[in-house]
Structure 1
Amino acid sequence: MKNELKSAVILCNGQPPDRAQIVHSLKKADLFIAADGGGNTARAMNISPDIVIGDLDSYKPEKTDPWKVIERPNQNFNDLEKALDYAHSKGIADVVVYGATGLRLDHTVKNLSVLKQYHTLFDSIYFRDLYCDVKLIDSPFRENFSLHTEVSLFPLSGIVRGVTSRGLKYNLSNDTLENGIFDGSSNLTVAPRVEITFDSGDLLFFINHKTDSKSNQ
């Protein structure tokens, strides 16, 4: 573990990532945290976290495990929250989270709520799985992408008002995205730079991998 910690990878107990995908991220990370059962996934992948943290209801310890284990039994917080709290306490600025999606849908939805809760505590935090990256974006949002990258917008808070975009095939112009009414799924980038502004709400931005898990490492 480096003395100055800037970036972290967190591995949760959802759908396991592609091993090459997470190993690539770990090469640039200062801290690797397994959230409870994520420790089992890490062991199965033959990669070692710096710590395993959580209520430990899913983690199955083995005597040969070389990493530190921290038990946090508080049931008012899920294991991802405990891992993010630990990362924040270490001064981490940038976080990529694997295993926060897939398998149990209720866990995925809860973790998206956690993403909103911790969004302002880090310079960047996003979930990555076999299919996409997802993050909450602030207004104004500006980022460069390869042409024809598939992206989606989704109103996490229920309603996001005044959404305007540039650089997408189907641009929005002061539109309102609302759950069950109108969202921004399955769009494409048609310019090198995408710009999005909005007036209010919590806007999720999905960046879909072009072919498979190895296409967006």
Structure 2
Amino acid sequence: MTTGRIIIFTGGSLEESDIKEIQPGDTVIGADYGAWFLVQHGISPDFSAGDFDSVTEEQLRKIQQSSKQFVSCDPINKNLSDTELALEYAIQMEPAEIIIFGAIGTRLDHTLANIQILSKVLKRGIPCSIWNRHNRITITDSVHVVSRNDFPYVSLIPLSNEVTGITLEGFMYPLHDAVLSIGESLGISNRLLQETGTITLKKGLLLVIQSKDE
């Protein structure tokens, strides 16, 4: 069990600036290529997991040597993606927060799957989000507070057929007891008017994306 943050690096698009987000006391997990990315940048993963079909044998050897814990699985006979495997391990540690880098990439199927597995962490009551240079992505089913930062746009996208009772406070475009349904774009590109904004909903699953263009 850990009381701090867990940072997961998985095998999508990763940048050197992502490394700078690691803070002292964070537990760092590498999933497949994400583990090699960490090792390349002088970071020894606390835990590395995956089928490692995205690295060479030499890279895999260095990952094993550098990781404090290491688990390899068969690339064919497995039920979980590398990201979900790492996330399962993180959930068991009951951290204060989980942040995932590399969950967005060229493979749209992997990106969508990674976004959807955020709901698994939500059920455990652990704040969890996907980060990259342009986005901060999370899921809520009740109340979520958004803080003003370098990501000026806030978009709300329903993940269930309907999300009901949506109320927004502190936003340029407020809502009160509104309904968002799949296929509607009403919740796209809102902005904060204050330092924080509160999103409240009664029923459903809502994707919250803070984003920027540059």
TM interval, shorter chain, is 0.7 to 0.9
Identity over aligned residues, as a percent?
A: 29
Residue aligning to 1:47: 43
Residue aligning to 2:192: 189
Give TM-score, length-normalised by structure 1: 0.84
SS state of the match for residue 52, structure 1? strand
The answer to whether the aligner puts 1:69 opposite 2:70 as a matched pair is: yes
Residue aligning to 2:83: 80
Q: What runs of 5+ residues in structure 2 fail to find an aligned partner?
A: none
1:79-132 CA distances to partner (integer Å, 9 max, x unpaired)? Answer: 111111111223323111000012100000111111112222253110001101
- How far residue 146 of structure 1 moved from its aligned partner, in angstroms, is 4.9
SS state of the match for residue 116, structure 2? helix
**Which letter does structure 1 place at the counterpart of 2:123?**
T
Contact 1:37 1:59 in 2 (8 A): yes
Contact 1:116 1:136 in 2 (8 A): yes
The answer to whether the aligner puts 1:132 opposite 2:144 as a matched pair is: no
Tell me which of 23, 26, 30 is aligned to 2:22.
26
SS state of the match for residue 184, structure 1? coil
Residue aligning to 2:12: 14
Count the aligned residue pairs. 207
How well do the aligned residues superpose, as a CA RMSD in angstroms?
A: 2.4
Equivalents in 1 of 2:201, 2:87: separation in Å? 27
**Which letter does structure 2 place at the counterpart of 1:12?**
T
Equivalents in 1 of 2:194, 2:153: separation in Å? 12
Q: Evaluate the alpha carbon distance shift between residue 98 and residue 190 of structure 1 in structure 2; reply closer, same or farther with a 3 A threshold.
A: same
Equivalents in 2 of 1:19, 1:137: separation in Å? 29
Aligned positions of 1:142-153 closer than 5 A: 142-146=145-149, 149-153=152-156
Equivalents in 1 of 2:13, 2:95: separation in Å? 24
Give TM-score, length-normalised by structure 2: 0.85
1:124-179 CA distances to partner (integer Å, 9 max, x unpaired)? Answer: 11000110111112423334325982111111223211211111111122221122
Q: Evaluate the alpha carbon distance shift between residue 41 and residue 134 of structure 1 in structure 2; reply closer, same or farther with a 3 A threshold.
A: same
- How far residue 5 of structure 1 moved from its aligned partner, in angstroms, is 5.0
Q: Evaluate the alpha carbon distance shift between residue 122 and residue 45 of structure 1 in structure 2; reply closer, same or farther with a 3 A threshold.
A: farther
Q: Evaluate the alpha carbon distance shift between residue 4 and residue 148 of structure 1 in structure 2; reply closer, same or farther with a 3 A threshold.
A: closer
The answer to whether the aligner puts 1:59 opposite 2:58 as a matched pair is: no
Q: Evaluate the alpha carbon distance shift between residue 146 and residue 6 of structure 1 in structure 2; reply closer, same or farther with a 3 A threshold.
A: closer
Residue aligning to 2:121: 118
